[in-house]
Structure 1
Amino acid sequence: MPNLSNTAPNVCMFACLSDNYGYLVHHAASNSTICIDSPDPSKILEKANSLGWTITHILNTHWHADHAGGNEKIQKETGCRILGPKEVNSRLNAPLDETLSGGETLEFGDLQIQVLATPGHTLEHISYYIPSHNIAFVGDTLFALGCGRMFEGQPEMFWNSLKTIRALPDETQIYCAHEYTLANLEFALSIDPENTDLRNYGTKLKELRAADKPTIPTNLGMEKLTNPFLRADNPVFANFLGMNRYASENVFAHIRKMKDNF
């Protein structure tokens, strides 16, 4: 259930499609309800209605259909305003009212949301960070113990995006778009078997999934210790992979290719 505080943004997270998460962020003070991406418009509208919230905005992270495919239906039902990278319209032909590219600050009353440029999964992928409450919605750039596939970007671009997210405070709660965690855990353990933090974290994650509970949000501080894709510049880890003489973006690319073939 969402936190029903009158001052803090209330995040409602719910499963949809096969492995996506839907997110509604309600800010009572500004009478705003923000939908992060639009993977399953019927489920999203149903959830908003059940909470008595009217969606006022959609913030898209990137153009893929399981992130922006519900824009039209939700806007038709609610009249909401849609913001996101231009690829949402140019690649998917989904409605978009305002283009974002990173560096903007969105204001909903006293709630500020920073837009971060995080390309790599797609060329114009962006993420949304609420600094006042240490919350980040990162789409398909970062997952619990993983990262998105590098469909369009280059290793240096994607690695820089991961460093952008990694630079946020350790307390940041990372809301990613998919429940891929156990598969990511299996891969992480295969290439980082001596990581005690990873093994301990993995035990907790398995317990959550065994109880049919989500592993999201994940804590950024823990991800910095355990996520192999955030540790490409860790000299001990790079040495374990036999890549201590390589640039960090090349280590990242190597790990990403290993995951693709895992």
Structure 2
Amino acid sequence: MNVSAIPAFDDNYIWVIDNQHDCIVVDPGQAPGVLEFIAQHQLRLAAILITHHHGDHTGGVRDILAQHECPVYGPENSRFDGITHPVHEGNTVHIDALALEFAVLECPGHTLDHIAFYAQPWLFCGDTLFSAGCGRMFEGQPAQFLASLDKLAALPAETEVYCAHEYTAANLSFANAVEPDNQAIHQHQAWVARKRQHDQMTLPSRLALELEINPFLRTRVNSVKQAAQAHAEHALTSPTDVFASLRAWKDNF
């Protein structure tokens, strides 16, 4: 089984899972690259998975469906009206052509309709969890977003994190500002710098690494709490307060 990235827009990745015969496309914000990939590799499109309604994740669906008929799985409470098979937490998405089953995880925060698709060891998490960061909080509340991140953090350590944007270098700069003494951040920054110097992607990440470098997964770590408090200039009494402070800090970083 292969997982490939199709670059889109300035920094999006559209993920394609294939077995050399059939494929699944995750969050196709644009159609041309997907259609070219399917044609080039002579694949049959078995399904489209949508994590949330934003246009850079859904904008290519209709043009793809004009050439390839398949089900579109996505959140049942989504504003995007192109979903043919709405799903919610507890559902399992069966893609028989690839012998794959995805657990649906609701993870509101970036948007209220956000879900992730998990088929061990792959996590397709859209804009909820990034390498060394998380999405902006457009629609959710801090407690809600932190609960979503905690849910993803509880997956097995070997989970491969397929997020939807190449934000790793910028996220690590912020993570380093939060935890300047974190050697795992420094080591990963050096690796990411080498990758980006050659225009190579830094994804997927691994959850075990994220638990060491991602401040939004480390709200209960004392060094992260102290940094968030210093930035907020007042006491933070809960992980939710720490998350909210970090998110506000990152928004203006």
TM-score in same-fold range (> 0.5): yes
Task: Return the TM-score normalized by structure 2.
Answer: 0.93
Aligned position for 2:160: 173
Write the distance in 1 (CA, Å) between the matches of 2:4 and 2:245: 36
Q: Against the structure 1 CA distance between its residues 61 and 177, is the aligned structure 2 distance closer, same or farther, given a 3 Å change threshold?
A: same
Match of residue 188, structure 1, among 169, 175, 190: 175
AA aligned opposite 2:130: F
Task: Check if 1:127 corresponds to 2:119.
Answer: no
1:101–1:124 Cα contact (<8 Å) kept: no
Match of residue 118, structure 1, among 107, 128, 142: 107
Write the distance in 2 (CA, Å) between the matches of 1:240 and 1:97: 45
Write the distance in 2 (CA, Å) between the matches of 1:141 and 1:32: 27
Aligned position for 1:254: 245
Task: Check if 1:60 corresponds to 2:47.
Answer: no
Aligned position for 2:67: 77
Write the distance in 1 (CA, Å) between the matches of 2:241 and 2:22: 42
Aligned position for 2:37: 47
Write out per-residue CA displacement over residues 173-211 of structure 1, whole angstroms, 9 at most, x where no aligned residue.
101001111111111111110101111111111111011
Superposed, which structure 2 residues align to 1:158-169 within 5 Å? 158-169=145-156
1:37–1:67 Cα contact (<8 Å) kept: yes
Write out per-residue CA displacement over residues 99-122 of structure 1, whole angstroms, 9 at most, x where no aligned residue.
112221112233211111111000
Superposed, which structure 2 residues align to 1:21-36 within 5 Å? 21-27=13-19, 32-36=22-26
Root-mean-square deviation (CA, aligned residues, Å) is: 1.5
Superposed, which structure 2 residues align to 1:143-222 within 5 Å? 143-222=130-209
Write the distance in 2 (CA, Å) between the matches of 1:225 and 1:204: 15
Aligned position for 2:90: 103
Write the distance in 1 (CA, Å) between the matches of 2:224 and 2:248: 16
- Alignment: residue pair count: 247
Write out per-residue CA displacement over residues 210-240 of structure 1, whole angstroms, 9 at most, x where no aligned residue.
1111001111101100001110111342134
AA aligned opposite 1:101: H
Note the residue ranges of structure 2 that are not aligned, 5 or more in a row: none
2:150–2:217 Cα contact (<8 Å) kept: yes
Task: Return the TM-score normalized by structure 1.
Answer: 0.90
Write the distance in 2 (CA, Å) between the matches of 1:139 and 1:130: 14
* Alpha-carbon shift at residue 244 of structure 1 (Å): 7.0
| SS of 2:93 mapped into structure 1 | strand
% identical equivalent positions:
38
Write the distance in 2 (CA, Å) between the matches of 1:237 and 1:188: 9
Write the distance in 1 (CA, Å) between the matches of 2:66 and 2:158: 37
AA aligned opposite 1:113: F
